Structure 1
């Protein structure tokens, strides 16, 4: 009995606590009843709800006339509701097996798709599902509608299974060419970093631009996703949709490309490389670009090896992905702007203005000998025979190397010879850089490389980075190379590099003068250089984006980069333009243009044949037309294609023929 008062006190305290909790609950209910829209939205984010992104329809990529190059299509997919899988005694295995049998697909493949990438026990990518856990999982993508009939006709056998349509990228021009796959690019699933940087416009599992225009203009093309707020149970399975916000479609991108010219460039490049292979040239890869000199727009950009971009419209197997991304002939590489290599004699159009800056008198005849000796090394006249004393005009027409060797050696001596440490004042190097070489053009595409104008500073930096390896090779040689002559050559080269690799030798300046040695440029850079010469110093700025268009037709013009002015020494520009016109009629490209209607569409251009150790020569031709009123630059390169006149010039001739017809209408 003495304990009774204590018990009463404890009961009274408990009742007091319960009363307080009840008062708090009533107060909170009153708050919710009086709450506004913002607080209601907060309630939707309660612990038992999840927000799921609704992807926006991606904008299309169009040519200059509005012809779709990358479009949107509908794909038929088969999905399974995760709630049905979770509610099944066997986790849904029997259901997945029935679906697999109906569609004649491997059961393991479909079951792997039901697992979430990164979750415990999930299948390895790309077999698992990389998307959201709160949407029906697409176990099979890209099903033929006839296949899907087996599921829709007997729905009782397939509870939770739906046949749905999903938007997917399509490439309508690829069947007949003109798809420009390396330029257009492709889409891949966004990784966590891309999602985090997207400012809410991308969600986990969404597609994002991974190359080309798809990547550069990804933000404009992707639009803004909508949202679904769903309620989930304790297992994380969706049981109800609470609300939905519509997505905002992306904008279409109008480009400077012309699908007709693009198709012609792709066909000419493919045919020209096949012809070179018929002549026992490997012709392993190549590129062709057409630049509009009136506006600076890229009209066509072709690259080989190539591929059908439709491969990205459905699931990509690991094997197929490795085929696309591995090996030396990677078809995803854009060989117009993503590869830099020696431009050979096409570079002489850059060297000649540099020679004028060095004090050369273009009116004075020059000797074109078969070879030219500097110290104990003899440099031969690669692309042409000895012509005796000739004019500078003729030196370009016949592509005489030794004329340029003499200038280069004199420039090297004037700079201070072997003791010079700075490139400042070197007229050949400074002229090349004034044309924009050694740095990217700034075209609105990812993956552009800078190229290289090698000088004294570069050579010392490169030697410091590589001398340890060179010295090790000088000691050990190249035991892994079976070709003894090549192994011996490389060993001697390593020995020289180890001892004196930092020195800028006269041979370095000589090689620079004819676009060989360590100098590298992209095809797009050389197209820009020749456009600058054709327009007497007004440098075109390559670009592809022209306008953005909303779904309701509102158009936003994209500002075209303004041309820059390059100072070309007086007299040299006119000489180059006249000489390069004669290259096509009587010089190293004459045979390639023998059947062309040059009176109607005159062309000026320069061949180049780059020597590559251990491989066939690289074939170059850079040109413009018509010469009377330059409108287009056409530049072509073919790796291991032979001489410039035998392969690249012929490809360019075919493209010019199409451009002439195109302009006539």
Structure 2
């Protein structure tokens, strides 16, 4: 090839060589810049990148009734979310994305008066407070409407990192049915996180609560939270030196919580709630203060609670998410707060429904036989002074000569005051002992939180409860006298004045001691009126409706005091297999003889037959065999504004042979028990036994 022909190729080769050299120079410079000039900078930056372990929430387990009807479940709802890691990957000008998002969501923002600029600021605060602390996806809005979903989808290219995601929402499809028993859930607070994790650690529970977790606040949701909550998922998030997440990876998927199957029958529960509501609305025509009530139905041979109602009713759905002031007052602050479970946490004077305890104690003490009779007049109590300590027969009645059977059937106050006084004089603590054995005035251990203990009065209880107050009052008075006369004596002019002051001091001390003695005699020592009041379920007697139902169950099952419970089984949410099943548990067997228990059971049957106070209630149900006891429990003491106010109490069981269920109920300010809560018992029995 001639020189002339080679020249163009040589020029091209020369330029190529120059380009190659320049490229190597640039590459070399960049390597020097990165590895030498900026080595310390990138070393520090890399050192600042860390890996964070982040938990993701599990789907909370379902709660179903004894027939598998769903009572509580977690259902998906659509939420507007923002993921910082996705936002960083796609668009570095992320604040513009947030501003665009604020403009689109303004019509759906919960605070309509806020400008787009203020919404933008709120969103930035949410990102800083949640995303940069917990590295979790930020939930901007929950349960968003379809219109907003369409807007976000239409502008998805402008909104990197913004998504519409399904999240679990706790829903109670039966609304007010079993509201207080189910309870409700809310997001765990900062203070609760520390408290709950300390409890978990002390119980060797590996679960750790984190921000965003839902926890039970009352009812089954609270007492079985560890079963319902499920197990967290785990993600690894890469975080830069500014504590901002830049990448994430899922290591473990969250595991759903277990399913709880209750002992309660939602159909029976609805019958009980509806009848309780009907009775209260009806009785308000004559008793306008009647606004609330409660009822319990229990299996006498297992302790299973079949129904537990408390009115006003509670809808747990109202307590999910943002709670208005009006809702908060309705459920927590008002006099008839709907979140208050009157069947479990409320306590009531039992009135005449307590008389079976007095009867059993009298039989056990040997101070009466079932056939011993007394004239049903106030004079049978004794002298006029003694009579003044007692309670006259209800309604001004005189039932003639009464024994244990007719006394209970007619609910004779005179009869039970006579035998109750005899018991207290022979064995002052026997009535309390027997009442406790039957579950009154003691915690039952039911698997629900906030159970009330109640109280059985006795001489020992009265002394231990009131004496410390009067002892302290006496000490303070004596100290006051001592301090007063120490100053006066120090400033006395002569011995005569000192002698007079010393005499005055001794007089005041003597007066204080006499006042103390009088207080002890009147308010600490057991008085005759205490014996009378306690014998008929008044005075300081007060028990929960659950305790009353279980007390009747213990009588009619032959003296076995069962632990009541509301959760029957815990089930695997995937396979449906039983993980754990609660078994009937006998807490104690009573000391009362079988013969005396049978005597009381027979006397209870007299109440609902013949001329008994509740005979009329079941007269139209020929299938009914069983027994019960009415109670018209005085709310206030003599001379108070509530002296003539009464709660309507009623307890019952059925059938008489081989009893199956027991009932206890109250209508506050309802008057006579058979005319109020008695109807609720009747409705429950008709449903359970299929009577028409």
TM range (shorter): 0.7 to 0.9
Is 2:616 aligned against 1:591?
yes
Is 2:166 aligned against 1:165?
yes
- Superposition map of 1:598-637 within 5 A: 599-613=622-636, 614-615=641-642, 616-637=645-666
Does the CA contact (< 8 Å) of 1:593 and 1:650 recur in 2? Answer: no
Once the two structures are TM-superposed, the CA of residue 322 in structure 1 deviates from its matched residue by 4.1
- Superposition map of 1:521-532 within 5 A: 521-532=543-554
Is 2:164 aligned against 1:181?
no
Q: Tell me how far apart the structure 1 counterparts of residues 172 and 567 of structure 2 sit (CA, whole Å).
A: 18
Query: What does residue 229 of structure 1 align with?
Result: 236
Taking only aligned residues, the RMSD between alpha carbons, in angstroms, comes to 3.4
Distance change (3 Å), C-alpha of 1:451 and 1:110: farther
Is 2:260 aligned against 1:253?
yes
Q: Tell me how far apart the structure 1 counterparts of residues 346 and 371 of structure 2 sit (CA, whole Å).
A: 37
The DSSP-based 3-state class of the residue aligned with 1:379 is coil
Once the two structures are TM-superposed, the CA of residue 539 in structure 1 deviates from its matched residue by 2.5
Q: Tell me how far apart the structure 2 counterparts of residues 56 and 106 of structure 1 sit (CA, whole Å).
A: 33
Once the two structures are TM-superposed, the CA of residue 379 in structure 1 deviates from its matched residue by 2.0
Does the CA contact (< 8 Å) of 1:80 and 1:161 recur in 2? Answer: yes
Distance change (3 Å), C-alpha of 1:140 and 1:45: farther
Q: Tell me how far apart the structure 1 counterparts of residues 127 and 373 of structure 2 sit (CA, whole Å).
A: 73
Correspondent of 2:453 among 428, 450, 453: 450
Q: Tell me how far apart the structure 1 counterparts of residues 124 and 606 of structure 2 sit (CA, whole Å).
A: 67
Once the two structures are TM-superposed, the CA of residue 606 in structure 1 deviates from its matched residue by 0.5
Query: What does residue 27 of structure 2 align with?
Result: none
Correspondent of 1:431 among 418, 434, 454: 434
Structure 2 runs not aligned, ≥5 long: 1-34, 201-205, 475-515
Once the two structures are TM-superposed, the CA of residue 115 in structure 1 deviates from its matched residue by 7.0
Is 2:608 aligned against 1:576?
no
Q: Output the TM-score relative to the length of structure 2.
A: 0.77
Once the two structures are TM-superposed, the CA of residue 582 in structure 1 deviates from its matched residue by 2.5
Correspondent of 1:101 among 102, 107, 110: 107
Distance change (3 Å), C-alpha of 1:133 and 1:112: farther
Once the two structures are TM-superposed, the CA of residue 448 in structure 1 deviates from its matched residue by 0.7
Q: Tell me how far apart the structure 1 counterparts of residues 552 and 659 of structure 2 sit (CA, whole Å).
A: 11
Once the two structures are TM-superposed, the CA of residue 157 in structure 1 deviates from its matched residue by 5.0
Distance change (3 Å), C-alpha of 1:657 and 1:243: closer
Q: Tell me how far apart the structure 2 counterparts of residues 111 and 337 of structure 1 sit (CA, whole Å).
A: 48
Once the two structures are TM-superposed, the CA of residue 291 in structure 1 deviates from its matched residue by 0.5
Query: What does residue 510 of structure 1 align with?
Result: 532
Q: Tell me how far apart the structure 2 counterparts of residues 651 and 249 of structure 1 sit (CA, whole Å).
A: 39
Correspondent of 1:334 among 337, 341, 354: 341
Correspondent of 2:373 among 365, 368, 380: 365
Q: Tell me how far apart the structure 2 counterparts of residues 617 and 131 of structure 1 sit (CA, whole Å).
A: 59
The DSSP-based 3-state class of the residue aligned with 1:644 is coil
Q: Tell me how far apart the structure 2 counterparts of residues 111 and 630 of structure 1 sit (CA, whole Å).
A: 67
Does the CA contact (< 8 Å) of 1:50 and 1:232 recur in 2? Answer: yes
- Superposition map of 1:449-488 within 5 A: 449-464=452-467, 466-467=469-470
- Superposition map of 1:209-220 within 5 A: 209-220=216-227
Query: What does residue 81 of structure 1 align with?
Result: 83
Once the two structures are TM-superposed, the CA of residue 107 in structure 1 deviates from its matched residue by 6.3
Query: What does residue 279 of structure 2 align with?
Result: 272
Distance change (3 Å), C-alpha of 1:170 and 1:384: farther
Distance change (3 Å), C-alpha of 1:201 and 1:345: same
Does the CA contact (< 8 Å) of 2:647 and 2:671 recur in 1? Answer: yes
Query: What does residue 559 of structure 1 align with?
Result: 582
Q: Tell me how far apart the structure 2 counterparts of residues 345 and 379 of structure 1 sit (CA, whole Å).
A: 12
Does the CA contact (< 8 Å) of 2:98 and 2:124 recur in 1? Answer: no
Once the two structures are TM-superposed, the CA of residue 624 in structure 1 deviates from its matched residue by 0.7
- Superposition map of 1:345-424 within 5 A: 345-359=352-366, 360-370=368-378, 372=381, 375=386, 376-382=388-394, 385-414=397-426, 423=428
Correspondent of 1:646 among 650, 663, 675: 675
Distance change (3 Å), C-alpha of 1:153 and 1:637: same
Q: Tell me how far apart the structure 1 counterparts of residues 256 and 132 of structure 2 sit (CA, whole Å).
A: 20
Does the CA contact (< 8 Å) of 2:215 and 2:225 recur in 1? Answer: yes
More helix by share: 2
Instruction: Deviation per CA, 1:302-341: give whole Å up to 9, x if none.
Output: 1111121112343334553343221221211211111122
Q: Tell me how far apart the structure 2 counterparts of residues 407 and 238 of structure 1 sit (CA, whole Å).
A: 78
The DSSP-based 3-state class of the residue aligned with 1:164 is strand
Distance change (3 Å), C-alpha of 1:302 and 1:498: same
Q: Tell me how far apart the structure 2 counterparts of residues 538 and 293 of structure 1 sit (CA, whole Å).
A: 9
Once the two structures are TM-superposed, the CA of residue 357 in structure 1 deviates from its matched residue by 2.0
Does the CA contact (< 8 Å) of 1:384 and 1:400 recur in 2? Answer: no
Q: Tell me how far apart the structure 1 counterparts of residues 583 and 396 of structure 2 sit (CA, whole Å).
A: 41
Once the two structures are TM-superposed, the CA of residue 457 in structure 1 deviates from its matched residue by 2.6
Distance change (3 Å), C-alpha of 1:502 and 1:249: same
Structure with max Cα Rg: 2
Distance change (3 Å), C-alpha of 1:72 and 1:45: farther
Q: Output the TM-score relative to the length of structure 1.
A: 0.80
Instruction: Deviation per CA, 1:105-157: give whole Å up to 9, x if none.
Output: 536596686477998xx8xxxxxx79964123222212233442232233345
Once the two structures are TM-superposed, the CA of residue 370 in structure 1 deviates from its matched residue by 4.7
Instruction: Deviation per CA, 1:71-114: give whole Å up to 9, x if none.
Output: 22112211233465995457945632431225675365966864
